């Protein structure tokens, strides 16, 4: 192997090959020794020669009985299980770096290669590295549901595009539930909370069933949130938040009575027991402090920003600190709130709920919370660039779905179309860019088919702990 570039390419190809259990770079830095079982040697050799300019020198193999393979599985693995999977022929930093660059599909396949590989892919430092890279290059996430089925599609998120682009949706994931999907939350650091509701019959009597399910569009894993144990329940709303300091997801369960005021607040922490814990997810009481109105589970009416959860109810803005688990109120900028909540570069923003923008629209109005403690808001009025009328399709009506940079908004339709288009409006550059998302509009078109767009989605490859 001549050069570090091709050496690294060869490493990535070998690590991602099914059946490979060990990789070792010899002292001469020119020879790569590969160990494994059931490896397609011919296909591997062809791939190495084509993509990394590496020639296959020799093949060595021995026939082993099932008993021999079982007795020697620790010595033939990539990771030494006698040392709790910590000893690697390759430096652990290099191994983590290689795994972190794999696609989601390759990571899913690699988890099934062996328990040692699955252990490495479950390391917190690998997950953090993958998250850091995903946050630097976030994605667009599209969600839609039909009956009991929920579908996610994601595509690369253009970075301040200046010209019309066509981007392919390169990741698809679907979930199926026992009851119809009613609503979903926005993506919260890679996870989505789904509310399902239906009926079941017991001894001829009909009972209403409502459940909340956590879904990871990156791994395809789902986890039904355990039921809250309480005698006061008339209804419950589950909200998903994320603590960026402790790097933990938390679910806030709010039990409410007929007057709509919450009586109990309980918190469930996802993965608090650490890796390998056998503890079940359990609810615990949180400090309620003040009676709070029950929020809507609609994703447009609640949002988690920087470890603080906000939601609107009855013209009030309630905030919940995910780490301290304490409530407070934020005085709204206006007496009446018919607004959608957005993350504006780390700050809470309000845009009119149900407001659509057409090719002949002229301005965009927004309130931004500048200081949460002092309840200070700033009103921003943006004039749409002159090229807006020339770029936006006259037959489309758009909504603001997010903010991707200083004074850069993302708009899209709430209904599927072919082609499906996303618009980037940069008020500093006075540009409007249309981005066609391939693979979304062709699924199904029609006014009755709604689609939800979430910018700044990050991929979390950590498996949720049961």
pLDDT surpassing 60 at residue 277: no
Residue found by looking up tokens 């057409």 in the block: 358
Give the integer Cα–Cα distance in Å for 354 and 340.
8
291 falls within a domain: yes
Element (H, E) at 74: helix 73-76
pLDDT surpassing 70 at residue 300: no
Residue found by looking up tokens 């995910």 in the block: 322
What six digits make up the tokens of 314? 């009855």
376 falls within a domain: yes
Does residue 347 share a domain with residue 220? Answer: yes
Does residue 279 share a domain with residue 155? Answer: yes
CA diameter of the chain? 78
- Count of domains for the chain: 2
pLDDT surpassing 80 at residue 431: yes
Q: Which of 121, 155, 186 is the last residue of a domain?
A: 121
465 falls within a domain: no
Name the percent of the chain lying above pLDDT 90. Answer: 30
Q: What pLDDT is stored for residue 259 in this prediction?
A: 60
463 falls within a domain: no
Does residue 376 share a domain with residue 235? Answer: yes
179 falls within a domain: yes
Q: Which residue has the higher pLDDT, 276 or 400?
A: 400
pLDDT surpassing 80 at residue 41: no
Arithmetic mean of pLDDT, 455-459: 93
127 falls within a domain: no
Does residue 412 share a domain with residue 276? Answer: yes
Average of per-residue pLDDT values in the chain = 80
State the DSSP string of 28-64: TSS-EEEEESS--HHHHHHHHHHHH------------
| Residue 445 · residue 416 · CB < 8 Å | yes
Does residue 315 share a domain with residue 266? Answer: yes
Which pLDDT tens digit goes with each residue over 192-221? Answer: 999 999 888 888 888 888 889 999 999 999
Give the integer Cα–Cα distance in Å for 355 and 334.
17
Give the integer Cα–Cα distance in Å for 99 and 103.
9
Is residue 395 classed as helix, strand or coil in its secondary structure? coil
Quote the domain boundaries for residue 268. 133-457
Does residue 305 share a domain with residue 196? Answer: yes
Residues contacting residue 79 through CB under 8 Å, at least 6 positions apart:
85, 86, 87, 88, 116, 117, 119, 120
Q: Which residue has the higher pLDDT, 314 or 60?
A: 314
Which pLDDT tens digit goes with each residue over 234-263? Answer: 667 888 999 999 989 999 888 776 665 666
Does residue 253 share a domain with residue 276? Answer: yes
Q: Which of 121, 152, 176 is the last residue of a domain?
A: 121
Among 133-147, 268-282, 296-310, where is mean pLDDT lowest?
268-282
Which residues make beta-bridge pairs with 364? 382
pLDDT surpassing 70 at residue 443: no
279 falls within a domain: yes
Does residue 150 share a domain with residue 249? Answer: yes
**CATH number reported for the structural domain that contains residue 368 in this entry:** 2.120.10
Give the integer Cα–Cα distance in Å for 14 and 384.
51
Among 248-252, 322-326, 331-335, where is mean pLDDT lowest?
331-335
**Predicted confidence band at 60 (pLDDT cuts at 50, 70, 90)?**
very low
Q: What pLDDT is stored for residue 275 in this prediction?
A: 38
Which pLDDT tens digit goes with each residue over 88-101? Answer: 467 788 888 888 88
**Predicted confidence band at 291 (pLDDT cuts at 50, 70, 90)?**
low
| Residue 170 · residue 440 · CB < 8 Å | no
Does residue 105 share a domain with residue 245? Answer: no
Q: What pLDDT is stored for residue 221 in this prediction?
A: 92
How far separated are the first and last CA of the chain, in Å rounded? Answer: 45
| Residue 213 · residue 192 · CB < 8 Å | no
What six digits make up the tokens of 16? 């991602």
126 falls within a domain: no
Look up the pTM and report it.
0.74
Does residue 177 share a domain with residue 71? Answer: no
Which pLDDT tens digit goes with each residue over 97-127? Answer: 888 888 888 888 888 888 888 888 888 888 8
Does residue 113 share a domain with residue 147? Answer: no
Arithmetic mean of pLDDT, 128-154: 91
pLDDT surpassing 80 at residue 46: no
pLDDT surpassing 50 at residue 178: yes
Q: Which of 86, 121, 156 is the last residue of a domain?
A: 121
Give the integer Cα–Cα distance in Å for 238 and 185.
10
What's the CA angle centered on 215, arms 400 and 130, to 5 degrees?
80
Give the integer Cα–Cα distance in Å for 353 and 39.
56
Half-sphere exposure of 148 (CA within 13 A, CB side): 7
Q: What pLDDT is stored for residue 176 in this prediction?
A: 94
**Predicted confidence band at 24 (pLDDT cuts at 50, 70, 90)?**
confident
Q: What pLDDT is stored for residue 227 in this prediction?
A: 84
Phi, psi of 173, deg, nearest 5? -150, 140
Does residue 220 share a domain with residue 323? Answer: yes
């Amino acid at each position: 192997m001549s050069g570090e570039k091709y050496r690294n390419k060869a490493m990535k190809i070998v690590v991602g090959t099914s059946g490979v259990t060990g990789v070792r770079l010899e002292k001469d830095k020119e020879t790569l020794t590969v160990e494994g079982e059931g490896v397609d040697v011919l296909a591997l050799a062809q791939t190495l020669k084509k993509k990394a300019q590496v020639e296959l020198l020799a093949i060595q193999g021995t026939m082993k009985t099932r008993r021999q393979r079982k007795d020697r599985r620790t010595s033939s693995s990539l990771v030494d299980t006698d040392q709790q999977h910590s000893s690697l022929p390759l430096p652990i930093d290099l191994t983590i770096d290689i795994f972190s660059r794999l696609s989601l599909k390759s990571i899913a396949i690699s988890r099934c290669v062996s328990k040692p590989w699955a252990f490495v892919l479950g390391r917190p430092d690998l997950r953090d590295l993958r998250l850091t890279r995903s946050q630097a290059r976030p994605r667009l996430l599209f969600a839609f549901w039909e009956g009991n089925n929920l579908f996610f599609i994601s595509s690369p998120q253009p970075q301040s595009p200046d010209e019309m682009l066509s981007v392919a949706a390169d990741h698809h994931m679907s979930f199926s539930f026992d009851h119809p999907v009613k609503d979903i939350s926005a993506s919260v650091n890679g996870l989505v909370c789904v509310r399902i509701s239906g009926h079941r019959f017991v001894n001829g009597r009909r009972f209403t069933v409502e459940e909340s399910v956590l879904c990871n569009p990156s791994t395809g894993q789902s986890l039904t949130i355990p039921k809250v144990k309480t005698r006061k329940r008339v209804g419950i709303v589950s909200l998903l938040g994320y603590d960026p300091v402790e790097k933990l997801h938390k679910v806030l369960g709010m039990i409410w009575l007929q007057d709509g005021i919450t009586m109990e607040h309980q918190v469930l922490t996802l993965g608090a027991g650490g890796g390998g814990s056998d503890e079940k997810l359990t609810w615990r009481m949180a400090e309620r402090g003040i009676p709070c109105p029950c929020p809507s589970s609609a994703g447009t009416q609640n949002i988690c920003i920087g470890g603080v959860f906000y939601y609107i109810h009855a013209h009030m803005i309630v905030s919940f600190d995910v780490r301290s688990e304490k409530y407070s109120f934020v005085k709204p900028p206006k007496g009446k709130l018919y607004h959608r909540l957005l993350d504006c570069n780390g700050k809470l923003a309000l845009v009119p709920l149900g407001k659509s923008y057409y090719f002949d629209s002229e301005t965009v109005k927004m309130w931004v919370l500048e200081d949460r403690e002092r309840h200070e808001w700033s009103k921003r009025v943006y004039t749409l660039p002159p090229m807006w009328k020339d770029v936006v399709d006259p037959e489309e009506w758009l909504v603001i779905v997010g903010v991707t940079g200083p004074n850069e908004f993302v708009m899209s339709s709430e209904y599927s179309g072919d082609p499906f288009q996303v618009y980037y409006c940069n008020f500093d550059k006075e540009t409007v860019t249309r981005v066609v998302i391939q693979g979304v509009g062709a699924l199904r078109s029609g006014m009755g088919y709604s689609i939800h767009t979430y910018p700044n989605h990050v991929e979390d490859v950590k498996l949720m702990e049961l």
